[in-house]
């Protein structure tokens, strides 16, 4: 395993984000004709931030006997927010553009497939090391 | 949010669109339904409204048909002196259904239905990918 970087953990967290996003998109599409409905969107994760958290996690340091040795709360579940910019708003106040949402669904699916493939490849590396199939 | 919930959300959306399609077909089928009594009102166009409702079993907000209301716009009228619904001047009120509007609505319904179907397909493939990891 790479020093200090857990691929399985990173992949599963990315997958969790993608599944969350798929849920948000499915809500948007289901409400494509609901009056006054504004589409919601997930904030894109920042690669640099994620890497930093992974390699050198921020930790409060105990520098005084009076300090409490507390940890940093774990990664929070991502949340969707109302989309800032929308292409157009229908006269009934609905701002969902089905095409835009479908593109995001396709993108989510592709990324999810990429993640499952990374997971599988990484697993194959272990299999090779164990000597049970996978290029052995 | 797990993937199975997206299936619930999308299927609720499809059901709502299905109900909307039913109302549109009612409107179209009754585009020429006139009254029977003199001066009586003909078929009045119906409109579907959508709303979000929390489904406690699944734990998500699902779209559903809120209410089917009557279109309050004016009826048309046509000159048919011999018709049983004709008034003293010989005019009969005609339904406020416009087939062009209904056709446009129908297309929109179809498009939304397909979009929901695609979401289900996409979620299903994502799940399949996860399951195949176990092999």
In a domain, A122, yes or no: yes
Q: Do B62 and A33 touch (CB under 8 A)?
A: no
Contact call for residues A84 and A42 (beta carbons, < 8 A): no
Taking alpha carbons only, the member of B27, B44, B46 closest to residue B35 is: B44
In a domain, A105, yes or no: yes
Q: How many CA atoms lie within 13 A of B74 on its CB side?
A: 2
Q: Provide, as residue numbers in chain A, all residues whose Cβ is less than 8 Å from the Cβ of B116.
A: 26, 29-30
Residue A35 has its nearest CB partner, among B2, B49, B119, at: B49
Q: What is the pLDDT of residues A29-62, one digit of tens each?
A: 999 888 888 899 888 777 777 777 767 777 777 8
In a domain, A49, yes or no: no
In a domain, A65, yes or no: no
- Please tell me whether the interface predicted TM-score (ipTM) of this complex is above 0.85: no
For residue A1, the model assigns a pLDDT of 44
In a domain, A123, yes or no: yes
Distance from CA of B39 to the nearest CA of A (A): 34
Q: Which domain holds residue A112?
A: 96-129
- Confidence class for position A5, pLDDT limits 50, 70, 90: low
In a domain, A111, yes or no: yes
Q: Do A34 and B52 touch (CB under 8 A)?
A: yes
> When comparing pLDDT for A121 and A134, which is higher?
A121
For residue A132, the model assigns a pLDDT of 67
Q: How many CA atoms lie within 13 A of B96 on its CB side?
A: 11
Q: What is the pLDDT of residues B43-80, one digit of tens each?
A: 999 999 888 888 888 888 888 898 899 999 999 989 98
Distance from CA of A48 to the nearest CA of B (A): 25
Q: Which residues contact B22 (CB under 8 A, 6 or more apart)?
A: none
Chain B interface, mutation test: which of A15, A26, A77, A116, most B Cβ atoms within 10 Å?
A26
Please state, rounded to an integer, the average pLDDT across all residues of chain B: 90
In a domain, A135, yes or no: no
Taking alpha carbons only, the member of A54, A58, A59, A53 closest to residue A5 is: A54
The answer, for B65 touching chain A at a CB cutoff of 8 Å, is: no
Q: Is a pLDDT exceeding 60 seen at residue B122?
A: yes
For residue B30, the model assigns a pLDDT of 93
* Number of separate domains in chain A: 1
Q: Provide, as residue numbers in chain B, all residues whose Cβ is less than 8 Å from the Cβ of A112.
A: 126, 129
Which contacts (CB < 8 Å, 24+ apart) does range A119-124 have? A119/A8, A119/A11, A119/B133, A120/B133, A122/A7, A122/A8, A122/A11, A123/B133
In a domain, A116, yes or no: yes
């Amino acid at each position: 395993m790479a020093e200090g970087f857990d691929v399985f953990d990173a992949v599963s967290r990315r997958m969790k984000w993608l599944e969350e996003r798929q849920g948000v998109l499915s809500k948007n599409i289901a409400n494509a004709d609901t009056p006054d409905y504004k589409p919601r969107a997930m904030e894109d994760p920042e690669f640099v931030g994620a890497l930093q958290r992974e390699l050198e996690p921020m930790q409060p340091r105990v520098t005084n006997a009076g300090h409490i040795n507390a940890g940093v709360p774990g990664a929070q579940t991502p949340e969707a927010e109302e989309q800032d910019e929308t292409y157009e708003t229908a006269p009934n106040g609905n701002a969902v553009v089905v095409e835009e949402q479908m593109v995001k669904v396709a993108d989510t699916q592709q990324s999810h497939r990429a993640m499952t493939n990374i997971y599988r490849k990484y697993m194959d590396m272990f299999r090779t090391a164990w000597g049970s199939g996978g290029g052995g | 949010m797990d993937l199975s919930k997206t299936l619930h959300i999308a299927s609720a959306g499809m059901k709502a669109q299905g109900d909307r399609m039913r109302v549109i077909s009612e409107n179209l089928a009754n585009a020429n339904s006139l009254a029977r009594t003199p001066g009586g009102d003909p078929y009045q166009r119906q409109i579907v409204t959508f709303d979000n409702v929390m489904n406690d079993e699944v734990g998500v907000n699902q779209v559903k048909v809120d209410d089917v209301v009557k279109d309050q716009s004016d009826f048309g009228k046509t000159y048919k002196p011999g018709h049983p619904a004709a008034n003293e001047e010989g005019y009969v009120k005609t339904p406020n259904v416009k087939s062009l509007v209904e056709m446009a609505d129908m297309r929109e319904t179809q498009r939304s239905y397909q979009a929901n179907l695609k979401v289900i397909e996409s979620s299903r493939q994502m799940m399949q990918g996860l399951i195949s990891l176990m092999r």
